[in-house]
Amino acid sequence: MKKVLTLSIILTVICTLSISAQIQHFTWQNRDREFIIRMPAEHEGSVPVIFFLHGLGDNITRCDQEFNFSQLANDYGWAIVSPQAINQGVGAMWNAALMSSSIDDSGFLMALLDSLTVQYQLDPDSVFFTGFSMGGFMTHRMAIEHGDRITACAPVSGLITNAMAAQTPSVPVRMLHIHGTNDNVVGYDGSSSTFYMTLGLGVEDILQYWQTANGCYGEPDIDTLPDLQNDGLRFVRYTYNCGTELQHLKVLGGTHSWYNSDREYDIGYKTFIYNFFKGNDSYTGFNDLEMKRFKLWPNPTSGPLFIEADQYTTVTVMDAQGHVVAQHELQPGTSQLDLQHLPDGVYFVKEDNGAVTKVIVGR
């Protein structure tokens, strides 16, 4: 029991703020269940909804503040629902079939969706699930059992338990699985080197599970995203050829962490997941809100590129693999860069303050 209690603490998403949020209540199977819903300040008609499932032992009030769900709802124009798991003696824990439990969280989440769909005019055809750690385990379970009602899922650092792996998904599900290779709590291979126990399928087996379910064939397309920040990580995206979309974001050097800051890391999980949900295939992983800090035109360009800056700055041009191909010092005003020597393709112009703009060179 002591080992499980320690696991409960480590699997928790680290949330540091504790400002009170508006907790609502929903009765399911004679239990009082809690949740928080954030709606965009302005919306017309039905609204897409993201369910965020917290980690083992976590608290929705703290996570609501840490992830700033209210701002995200306004930025995205989508509803964000964060339900609370029940304390089962080892902290608040989702029943993802990792341990024996009589709690029907799968049914609870679908019942909550039904209720909120009517109350808040949520779009029943635009339902998305994501979660971290134990919330990632539960996200996989929701995809397997309720894929006919879920548009896409994005589990982070969570596995398919052996019990769930014995089940066949009800339908193919758009899936993005995110996992760090140096995760010693929920290991990439399915084990936990911290607790000397197997938690479920390894990531390679999880991807094979969803390849079978989603009708995939051949080898995946591999896209190593540009390494623009000194974060000690490399982000590699695997896109599988499937009847129903399947992606894997492999975080080389990634630990049991939710990488949340687009200024500190190359990738911010919230932005990456949102862009997968909305179906932006050209998205590379950078925060859309951080990519327009100076004016740059024309884009695409056949070679000449003009940049308007309001102060002295240095820009670095990188290719899609993160290799530096050019560097220029800019004065205030408009400067011209000549990219005609570069092969056609996608490049990234990075300002010395960290802002990044994607540029397409093509003749």
139, 62 in Cβ contact below 8 A? no
pLDDT at 190: 95
| pLDDT tops 80 at residue 362 | yes
Contacts 24+ apart (CB under 8 A), 114-119: 115/26, 116/37, 116/49, 116/79, 116/81
Match 């995206």 to its residue by tokens: 237
In degrees and rounded to multiples of 5, residue 235 shows phi and psi of: -110, 120
Per cent of the chain over pLDDT 70 is: 88
> How confident is the model over 255-268, as a mean pLDDT?
83
d(CA 75, CA 278): 13
Both tokens of residue 253?
A: 């050097």
237 by Cβ neighbours in 10 Å (0-12 / 13-18 / 19+) ranks as: buried
The pLDDT value given to residue 334: 87
How would residue 263 be classed by pLDDT, with cut points 50, 70 and 90? low
pLDDT tens track for 279-309: 854 444 444 334 445 678 888 888 888 888 7
CATH classification code of 295-361: 2.60.40.3080
CA distance 186 to 85: 19
pLDDT surpassing 90 at residue 180: yes
**b vs e for 316-325, b when ≥16 Cβ sit within 10 Å of the residue's Cβ?**
bbbbeeeeee
- The dihedral region occupied by 274, where left means phi > 0, alpha psi between -120 and 50, and beta the remainder, is alpha
pTM score, whole prediction: 0.78
Q: Is the pLDDT of residue 260 over 60?
A: yes
Determine the Cα–Cα distance for residues 37 and 84; give it in Å rounded to an integer. Answer: 11
CATH tag, 2-288: 3.40.50.1820
Sign of the dihedral through C-alpha 291, 253, 217, 142? negative
Domain limits, the chain = 2-288, 295-361
Name the helix (H) or strand (E) containing 356. strand 356-361
Average pLDDT in the 68-90 region? 91
* CA pair distance 242, 174, nearest whole angstrom: 10
Lowest mean pLDDT among 216-220, 228-232, 341-345: 228-232
* pLDDT the model gives residue 262: 59
What are 150-177's pLDDT values in tens digits?
999 999 999 999 999 999 998 999 999 9
- Averaged over 226-250, what is the pLDDT? 91
- Indicate whether 94 pLDDT > 70: yes
Q: Give tens-digit pLDDT for 13-28.
A: 333 333 345 899 999 9
How far apart, in whole angstroms, are the C-alpha atoms of residue 140 and residue 129?
A: 9
